[in-house]
Amino acid sequence: MASQDGNEAVVMETEGSPNKEESDGAKLGDGDAEANEQSRQEDGGNSSSQCQASVSNGGDTDDGKETVDLKIIWNKNKYDLRIPLDATGASLKESIHSLTGLPPSMQKVMYKGLLPEDKTLREIKVTNGAKIMVVGSTISDVLAVNTPKEVIQQEVKAEENKKEPLCQQKQHRKVLDKGKPEDIMPSVKGTKERLPTVPLSGMYNKSGGKVRLTFKLEQDQLWIGTKERTEKLPMGSIKNVVTEPIEGHDDYHMMAFQLGPTEASYYWVYWVPAQYVDAIKDTVLGKWQYF
């Protein structure tokens, strides 16, 4: 073409020239071009996935749940456990099972008394770094006991139903007639409380002497202390706990710990504050007694 049409010729040549991708496609061939396009799409997908993974993880392995670190102590062994603060006592037992191999049904879990299964760790105010005591026996140990506690309790209950109320029996009247001890711990009627962190004191025993109860949860022992001596009883040796409100003072109970097969083995304690009665029975006997 003439020189005055040179610009037009250039434009037409540019428009008619293949773009880079078409050129690359021509060089690679149709099959290679499709593979190249698929590779670009896969690279883009991987990049997107990596971005999403980074956002979703956020460095939070607990899905944003508030956790608490606990020290589990069982059979002289210590285990570290991290668990959500809103987990229940039952969930904690399952976690302990994973750590120790001890079935939940065979566990007595202690934190300021027997830990309730239906409440969360937050509700019972478990703090970070708290020590959780676990007491448990294997099924073979439990089966080795000659007389199951459940049978003994049923026999005792049937025998009690045949008798007059405990408070009216002569052996108890001689202690109750002394009246309420001056240094007895305060009672709260109609409530249930966990065991206090201090010994229960100011009560009477069968001879009318002062007695105190100390619950050594980490040793699974009940200490019964008097002025003369302190008896250290394994909780597993206590076959039953008998209680009855004191007539005219139903915010206090009389309580007996059965240490043998007959009534002669009962250790009686008088003026036990009513709010602690259930906690004492649960701690001494525990749910595993039925196995």
Phi then psi for residue 233, to 5 deg, are -105, 125
- To which residue do tokens 């879990």 refer? 109
| Contacts with 80 (C-beta within 8 Å, 6 or more apart), sequence order | 69, 70, 71, 72
Q: What pLDDT score was predicted for residue 212?
A: 95
Averaged pLDDT score across all residues of the chain: 77
Cα 118 to Cα 133: distance, rounded to the nearest angstrom: 18
pTM of the full predicted structure? 0.48
Length of the chain: 291
| Contacts with 223 (C-beta within 8 Å, 6 or more apart), sequence order | 199, 213, 214, 215, 216, 230, 231, 232, 233
pLDDT 10s digits, 9-42? 444 444 444 454 444 444 444 445 454 555 555 5
Q: Are 275 and 281 in contact (CB under 8 A)?
A: no
Tens place of pLDDT per residue across the chain (291 aa) = 444 444 444 444 444 444 544 444 444 444 454 545 555 555 544 444 443 333 333 334 446 689 999 999 988 889 999 999 999 999 999 999 888 888 888 888 999 888 898 999 999 999 999 999 998 765 655 555 555 566 666 666 666 555 667 777 888 999 999 999 999 999 988 889 998 889 999 999 999 999 999 999 888 899 999 999 999 999 889 999 999 999 889 899 999 999 988 888 999 999 999 999 999 999 998 754 433
Q: Which residues on neighbouring strands pair with residue 257, listed in sequence order?
A: 241, 267
Q: What pLDDT score was predicted for residue 29?
A: 47
161-190 CB burial, b ≥16 within 10 A, e <16 = eeeeebbeeeebeebbeeeeeeebbebeee
Cα 286 to Cα 107: distance, rounded to the nearest angstrom: 9
Strand ranges of the sheet holding 67-74, from the earlier edge strand across to the other edge: 77-84, 67-74, 131-136, 107-110
Q: What pLDDT score was predicted for residue 154?
A: 65
Q: What pLDDT score was predicted for residue 107?
A: 86
Q: Are 222 and 233 in contact (CB under 8 A)?
A: yes
